[in-house]
Amino acid sequence: MKTIGIIPNLLKDTELEITKHVVDWLIGEGYKTYGSSHIADQVKGLSPCESEEELYINSDILIAIGGDGTILAAAEKASLADVPIIGINLGRLGFLADIEPQDITASLHKLLQENYRIEERMMLRAKIITPGGKEYIFNALNDINIIRGNVSRLTEFEILVNDELCDIYPADGIIVSTPTGSTAYNLSAGGPIVLPHTKAYILTPICPHTIYSKSIILAEEDVVQIKTCNHDNMNMALNIDGNIKMYLTPNHFIQIDKSPYVTRLIKLSELKFFDILRKKIVERRR
């Protein structure tokens, strides 16, 4: 490990104080740090990258400074570059981010001593083909959501699994979640918690208009197609890991399956999954 990419969230580290501390400490230990050019202009010693692609390619490890959302925003590019990522939690929950602010120096020591493990987390792939034939591919660490717009009319989602009709959900939207994302939007929508290493993914309707409509657990080799059956040609939002990527009509082809890429999360903590679940979610609800 020689170079470390720094990805701060300016909404969390507003004055870049944590970023400056991390960069200064790493440089003092003899490591080179990279960051985007507009961040490097504000942080002494941070080497600028002309493009996001250069940042990911040049880094042996990525440190996301912000929270789970910062990790999610970097996950697809990190997976394509096959570079592992660790997070410093400045957010509310920090289910993915392994380092708490009070533990930064001790955690960086462990990181540089390579006293950690890497967990490879399954990702999902969304393949979208527009009515004009243009193809888009997106990869998600947490979830892929198709959500109706602001119009209050009911939308029906026709779900096919391996080309076989599964069900037609009258609902506000559909969540397709990885095991990693099962504790996020999926859980809020009434979906199940699935352990991160499980070779499966979850399909959960959002506010379904039928009592029997529940989540479906799919094997990792299953392929899902989703058809939106709204009759007024209303656009639907395609949301990848919390970010709207495009809008869909009933004429768009939508396919979701397991991605060929994985997100490599660096884990310093000895806490197991259920320890983290209790600490981050259950105990905070009391």
Q: Which residues are catalytic?
A: 68
The number of residues making up the chain comes to 286
Which residue, among 41, 12, 225, has the nearest Cα to 23 in the 3D structure?
A: 41
Which DSSP state fits 281? I
Beta bridge partners of 13: none
Q: Under 8 Å CB-to-CB from 231, ≥6 apart: which residues?
A: none
Task: Report the SS3 class of residue 27.
Answer: helix
How far CA 165 is from CA of 121, 143, 157, 162, 224, in Å, comes to 29, 22, 11, 8, 10
Structural contact between residues 256 and 176, judged by C-beta atoms closer than 8 angstroms: yes
Neighbours of 126 (CB within 10 A): 24
Residues 92, 72: Cα–Cα separation, whole Å: 15
Q: Among the residues of the chain, which ranges form H helices?
A: 17-28, 37-40, 52-58, 68-81, 104-112, 185-188, 273-277
